[in-house]
């Protein structure tokens, strides 16, 4: 609810539309954050939160070198994903994970350009292992920690539903 006077509406005829746009963007941002890292207590349970609570394999991939993300780890995550989910799979991770993966080819660490393709001069969709990538600030950042951390998700989101009840 945003109160405003009749005078404001007369001086700025588009104020209601502007406020509607502002509230809508706030809702979209909140929904994006909660579907990534929501606690599940009075809010949605985010995908990264859900996976942090999973203890069974193959939900988690342990990196080859502690504190480092390498091309071999990306391939290991891809190969662990069951075959039936690969044709519709999507990667989800933060800009810091994206930057780390982009640096693989620069470091000649074994990630061929065919694995990660994007023309940095164009607005395109990043593709990793032939599947689209969603980069979001709401996913956990890659910090190089030596402890356990969920930093990327690969999976088929076609049955991932966001259900909301009607508001007032």
The predicted-structure confidence for 68-119, as pLDDT tens digits, reads as follows 888 888 889 999 999 999 999 999 999 999 888 877 765 554 545 445 555 5
Distance, CA of 119 to CA of 122 (rounded, Å): 6
Q: What is the pLDDT of residue 124?
A: 59
- CA distance linking residue 21 with residue 106, whole number of Å: 41
Provide φ and ψ at 153, rounded to 5°. -130, 135
Does residue 48 register a pLDDT over 70?
A: yes
User: Which stretches of the chain are DSSP H helices?
Assistant: 6-11, 15-37, 47-52, 71-80, 95-106
Q: Please report where in the chains the tokens 């069951």 appear, as a residue.
A: 82
Nearest to 90 by CA among 128, 133, 129, 51: 133
As given in the structure block, the two tokens for residue 20 are 């509607």
């Amino acid at each position: 609810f945003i109160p405003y006077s009749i005078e404001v509406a007369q001086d700025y005829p588009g104020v209601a539309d502007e406020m509607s746009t502002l509230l809508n963007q706030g809702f979209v941002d909140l929904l994006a954050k909660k579907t990534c890292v929501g606690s599940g207590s009075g809010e949605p349970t985010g995908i990264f939160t859900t996976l942090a609570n999973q203890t069974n394999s193959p939900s988690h991939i342990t990196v080859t070198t502690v504190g480092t993300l390498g091309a071999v780890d990306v391939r290991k995550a891809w190969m662990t994903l069951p075959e039936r989910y690969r044709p519709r799979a999507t990667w989800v991770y933060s800009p810091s994970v994206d930057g780390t993966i982009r640096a693989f080819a620069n470091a000649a660490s074994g990630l061929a350009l065919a694995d990660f393709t994007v023309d940095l001069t164009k607005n395109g969709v990043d593709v990793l292992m032939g599947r689209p990538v969603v980069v979001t600030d709401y996913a956990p950042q890659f910090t190089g920690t030596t402890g356990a951390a969920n930093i990327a998700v690969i999976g088929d989101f076609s049955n991932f539903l966001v259900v909301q009840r009607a508001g007032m």
